Amino acid sequence: MRPYLATARRYRWLLLTIIALIWGAGLAAAFVEYKTTFESEATIWVLRASPELTVTSPNDPSQPILQTAATQQADLLDQLLLTDAFVRDVVRQTSLRAALDAAPDESRFLERVAKGFQVQTHGTNLLTVAYVAQDPVLAAEMVNAVLAVRADRIAQASVTFSAAASTLYQQQFKVAQAQAIDAQSAVDKFDQSHTAPLSDLEQHQRDQLRLALDFAQVRLGDIKGRIDQATLAPAVLAVSGMEFQVVDQPRVENSPRGGTRPAATIAAVAIAAGAALAALLVLLGTILPAHAKGPADVARLAPVKLLAAVPRVPRLQGSAGRPTNIRASLAAIAFGGGGADGDSNE
Amino acid sequence: MSAVPITRAFDGLATRIDTLGVRSLGFTSALRGEGVSTIALGTALGLCDLRNDAVLLVDANWLEPSLTNDAGLSGEPGLAEHLAHHAKLEPLIRRPHTSRIAFLPIGDRTRARPTLRALGSFLATETSSFETVIVDLPPILAGERFVLPWAAVLDEICIVLREEATPLPLVRQAVDTLPVANAPYVILNRAKASSVDVPAKLVAALR
């Protein structure tokens, strides 16, 4: 631990500068993020439609309901926001329309817009739709637009679905009507060909024909009821608005809102990055061998003391014109003779 | 040869050693190639001038006896023979006519290794006629067993390191290896002019 502390002490000004720069930049970015973030939010109360008002048969066992009403609607909105077509329709209803038309990459633009939406459930019947933007007016516009486009899409889908259901029921009605007419004809023919009193066998045959006629008429009535339901139910739901009620309309916020979490994230990342970088520098500064860059660095070897510094001496020109060095010169002085060539004072 | 004596490069070092008043001094390093032998040679020449007396320069570098090679005394008997067979020291010491250095070559390194007892006697008795004894030692980390006996008997040990080259952690490791009471000194070799006070004029003159 001591070497790391020594390294940290040695590079304290560099470390403090790095930490100050990174933390300062991170905190400044977090502050700007917080101050320029505006969130607009709509609170919606949702109810599941009465089985009587649904187009599909309430007796159909193939439709399990595993979600709460709020989760169902939130999932629906999330799925719609995944599609470019839906987001494009939303953007076209806002002041971002011009930006969309000018965007070089429409898909990326729509993806960035979609990321600004947040759909959250609060309990079984409450959900919120929020949009975060740097412009408070735009945030409110986006939430209003997404609700409007959703309503359009739902209405359109409902009409389409009810039309398809009506067509199917009409076909079934024609078949059932033909069966009823046939059953009625069979009963009439039997009555004309047989006069009273009827034998037991004849009476039994007539009862069978009457039963078939009754069944055909009941089925006819049932299908007719479904046709009426398929036509009226969407209209009733649309008029009542009970399935999707906007309790709190989105507002234009005048003070920053919704930027706390991203700002905190930016600040936390900056603080962690600064600390990590400082730790890395201390680690490298301790592990990597440090060289003495001058007398001051020798002080790190305390209690060893610096006795003297011997200067670097450049190569000398020898008598034969070849470069010679201080070692060879010293050897020549000390021992006589030419001495050996080599590197300078090594 | 320049008009300025090359030994001036070691004037500062020799002066400081003279000021310390030590008689025996060993030069070593943490790693090879730090310039220990050159420093030992230059310092010996500087002290000859400064103390106006002969300086005994001992090549005790069992790993790379470059001073013996420089003196052209490879294969000649020297310190190893003295330590091994108690051969008389005086005939082994060479006294070149070009300087006042008395040089003891290493001899046949396979014959003996430095021991504490032999070195104690060598410094206290055999070389008592010399006012100054300079010993060129091998690097500590590579030749610890050849350095430690000398470190116990020499007055001072100097560790040579190259500026901007020698890793300080290795120097620290080498320092920790030495079991000396007094902390060794460090000599910064091949220092830039900014690191050195006196010889800056010398460098300029040599150019």
Nearest CA in chain A to B183: A304
Q: Does A258 touch chain B (CB under 8 A)?
A: no
Domain ranges of chain B: 6-200
Q: Does B27 touch chain A (CB under 8 A)?
A: no
Q: Which residues of B touch A312 (CB under 8 A)?
A: 163, 190-193, 203
> pLDDT tens per residue, chain A (346 residues)?
777 887 788 788 999 999 999 999 999 999 998 988 888 899 999 887 665 555 555 455 555 557 788 888 898 889 999 999 999 999 999 988 888 889 899 999 999 999 989 999 998 889 999 998 888 899 999 999 999 998 888 888 877 877 888 888 888 889 989 999 999 999 999 988 888 788 888 899 989 999 999 999 999 899 888 888 777 776 666 666 667 888 899 888 888 877 788 899 999 999 999 999 999 998 887 777 677 777 777 877 878 888 988 888 776 655 555 656 788 888 988 888 644 333 345 4
Q: Which residues of B touch A334 (CB under 8 A)?
A: 41, 44-45, 57, 70-71, 96, 98-99, 101, 103
Q: What is the pLDDT of residues B110-163, one digit of tens each?
A: 988 899 889 998 998 888 899 999 999 999 999 999 999 999 999 999 999 998
Contact B167 A290 (CB under 8 A): yes
Contact B199 A312 (CB under 8 A): no
Nearest CA in chain B to A328: B70
3-state secondary structure string across chain A = CHHHHHHHHHCHHHHHHHHHHHHHHHHHHHHHHHHCCEEEEEEEEECCCCHHHCCCCCCCCCCCCCCCHHHHHHHHHHHHHCCHHHHHHHHHCCCCHHHHHHCCCHHHHHHHHHHCEEEEECCCCEEEEEEEECCHHHHHHHHHHHHHHHHHHHHHHHHHHHHHHHHHHHHHHHHHHHHHHHHHHHHHHHHHHCCCCCCHHHHHHHHHHHHHHHHHHHHHHHHHHHHHHHHHHHHHHHHHCCCEEEEECCCCCCCCCCCHHHHHHHHHHHHHHHHHHHHHHHHHHHHCCCECCCHHHHHHHCCCEEEEEEECCCCEECCCCCEECHHHHHHHHHHCCCCCCCCCCC
Q: What is the pLDDT of residues B47-102, one digit of tens each?
A: 998 888 889 999 999 999 999 999 999 989 999 999 987 788 899 999 988 888 99
The interface pTM score, or ipTM, of the predicted complex is 0.86
Give B82→chain A minimum CA distance, Å.
21
Q: Within the 276-335 window of chain A, which residues sit less than 8 Å (CB to CB) from chain B?
A: 289-295, 297-298, 300-301, 303-314, 316, 319, 326-327, 329-335
> How would CATH label the architecture of B6-200?
3-Layer(aba) Sandwich (3.40)
Q: Does B32 touch chain A (CB under 8 A)?
A: no
Q: Within the 128-187 window of chain B, which residues sit less than 8 Å (CB to CB) from chain A?
A: 158-159, 161, 163-172, 175, 183-187
What domains appear along chain A, each with residue ranges and CATH number? 38-258 (3.30.1890), 310-335 (no CATH)
Q: How many CB pairs under 8 A join A and B?
A: 186
